[in-house]
Amino acid sequence: MLFLKVDHLEKSYGGRTIFSIESLYLYDQDRIGLVGRNGEGKSTLLSMLAGTADPDAGVVERYGSVSYVPKLEELDSEISADLNGKWKLADQGQDQISGGEQTRRKIAQALTSNANVLIADEPTSHLDVAGIEQLEHELQAFKGAILLTSHDKDFLNKLCTAIWEIEAGQVTVYEGNYDAYLKQKQIETDKSQREYQEYTREKNRLEQAARQLKAKSDGIKKAPSRMGNSEARLHKRSAGVQKAKLNRAAEAMETRSRKLEKKEKPKEHEPIVFDLAEFPALHSKRIIQFNGSPVKVGSVTLKQHVNGEVSLGSRLAIIGGNGSGKSTLLNQIVNHDPSLTIAQPAKIGFFNQHQENLENNKTILENTMKDSPYNQTFIRKMLARLAFKRDDVHKKANVLSGGERMRASLVKVFLGNYNVLVLDEPTNYLDLDTKEALTEVLAASWYDHICDS
C-alpha cells in the first residue's frame, strides 16, 4: 500500500538548490534509511515529508498518518508510566534529563502513536548501546513504514530494506541495506571512472590523430622553383589531392572526437580535515585529580564517589549508560568544581552536546574568530578544510544543519587557546568522513582529551 508520494519537490536557500526531486514513493513495509553527507538536505527533506515545513515547489501526498521524530530540539512533555517502565526512563525533571533520555522519550511516544509512517531524524544520536538495541527491536516490530536518517552503519544494516541517498540535490534509491548500498555505489563509481578514462583516452587519440594528419598535410611541399612548368603543374595537382585527402581525414577525426558521448569526470569529495591549534604548554604531570566526591544533579546523587586522575598527555573516555552522569561529571570539570583539583596551567576548551559555544545570530566565521588567537586568513583556511568554503563561512549558526553545527562548534574549540579538551559526545550527527577526520586529529594530537561517547 502506498503511504507517501513525492512529486517534483524543490527547496532552495539563498540561491542554493538544496534538492530538486522528481518522484519518491514510500510503501507500507518499507524501512528506508536516508543517507548523505552533512548539509545535503536530509533534515529539510524529512520535515517536508512529515508536513512540518513547506517546499518551494511540488507536492507530498500522504495516504496515512505520519509520526515524526525530529532531531533533538523539542521535547514533548508528558509520558505515560507504562512507556516510562518499558523504556526504563529516568524519573527526573525535564531540565535535568540527558540527551539520550530525551531521544528515548520521543521515540517511545512516536512508536506508540499507531501512525502508518514513522519518520525519524537521527534517532540513534545520544543513545547508549542498550538504547540503540532496544530501538532496533522496537522498529523491527513496528507495523508501518519507516523512513529515518542515521550515520550509524550497523543500525542501518540491521534495519533497512532500501537506502535513499541524497547528493547534490538528487535522491537515488538503492535496494537493500547499507552494505548493499555501498557495494552498488562502488560498482557505479568504478563504472563511471572506467567510462571517463575510456572517453578521455579515445578523445585524446582522435585529437592527436587529427593533429598528425594536419601536420602531414602542412608538410606537403610546393613544387621546387627549378621544376619545369608542366612538371610543376603535375606536382601541384597531386600535392593538392593529397592535402585535401589528409585535411578531410583530419576533419573526420575532429568530428568523431566532437561526437563522442561526453562523460563527466566523477566527482571526488575533498577530504574533511580538522586542525588543532598550537597550545599553551602544560608543565604539570597531574592535570585533574578527582577526590572521591559524588556526582550530583540537584539533590539526585548519580555516583557516590569519583576517584582517579587525568595525567599529562592522556586521552580519557568516560563511558556509561544514558543518564549515568557523564555530562554532569564533564560539567564539574569545566566549571572547576571545588571537589576537584585542577592544575593551574590547564586551559580547558569545552565542546558540549548542544554546541553552546556558538552564538546563533553570529556567522561561522564570527563565532570561530571570537576568542581565537588566529587571524581571519588562517581561520578561513581551516574552515575550508572542513567544507566551509567561500560564502559558507558567512552562514549564521542558527541555519546550520546538525553536522555543520557540530563542525563549527568543534573547530571553535580546536582553534581556541586551550591545552585540555573536554568533548561531550563530539561525534553525534557527524557523517562518516567527518567522524574519521575527527578521530584522526584527536589520535594524533598531544592534548589532554576527556571524551564522553
Ligand X SMILES: Nc1ncnc2c1ncn2[C@@H]1O[C@H](COP(=O)(O)OP(=O)(O)OP(=O)(O)O)[C@@H](O)[C@H]1O
Contact set with ligand X (CB under 6 A): 13-14, 18, 36, 38-44, 395, 399-404, 429, 431
The CA radius of gyration of the chain, in Å to the nearest whole number, is 31
Q: How far is the CB of 432 from ligand X (least distance, A)?
A: 11
Q: Which is nearer to ligand X, 30 or 404 (CB)?
A: 404
Q: How far is the CB of 52 from ligand X (least distance, A)?
A: 13
The residue (of 15 and 85) whose beta carbon lies closer to ligand X is 15
Q: Which lies closer to ligand X via its Cβ, residue 45 or residue 282? A: 45
The closest of 5, 92, 87 to 49, measured between CA atoms, is 5
Cα–Cα distance, 328 to 20 (Å, whole number)? 43
- Tell me whether residue 295 or residue 397 sits nearer to ligand X (CB atom): 397
Are 422 and 334 contacting, i.e. CB atoms less than 8 angstroms apart?
Answer: yes
Beta strand ranges found along 14-134 (DSSP E) = 16-27, 31-35, 57-62, 66-69, 117-121
CB 290 within 8 A of CB 308: yes
CA distance 67 to 84: 19
CA–CA distances in Å: residue 349 to residues 4, 250, 317, 379 = 46, 67, 16, 17
Q: Which is nearer to ligand X, 214 or 396 (CB)?
A: 396
| Rounded-to-10 torsion of CA 86, 89, 93, 98 | -150
Query: In the bound complex, what is the minimum distance in angstroms from residue 29's beta carbon to ligand X?
Result: 25
Inter-axis angle of helices 432-444 and 402-414, to 10 degrees?
Answer: 10
Give the helix ranges, DSSP H, for 260-348: 326-334
- Within 8 A by CB and 6+ apart from 250, the residues are 209, 210, 211, 213, 214, 217
Cβ at position 155, least distance to ligand X in Å? 15
- As measured in angstroms, the least distance from the Cβ of 179 to ligand X is 20
Which of 195/433 has CB closer to ligand X? Answer: 433
Q: Which amino acid is at 335?
A: N
In the bound complex, what is the minimum distance in angstroms from residue 178's beta carbon to ligand X? 15
CB of 148 to ligand X, least distance (A): 12
Closest residue to ligand X using C-beta atoms: 403
Nearer to ligand X, 41 or 144 (CB): 41
Q: Least distance from C-beta 391 to ligand X, angstroms?
A: 10
Q: Which is nearer to ligand X, 39 or 123 (CB)?
A: 39
Quote the cell numbers at residue 393. Answer: 563561512
CA distance 102 to 95: 10
Find the shortest distance in angstroms from Cβ 166 to ligand X: 7
Residues in the chain: 453
Measured from the CB atom, the residue of 31 and 395 that comes closer to ligand X is 395
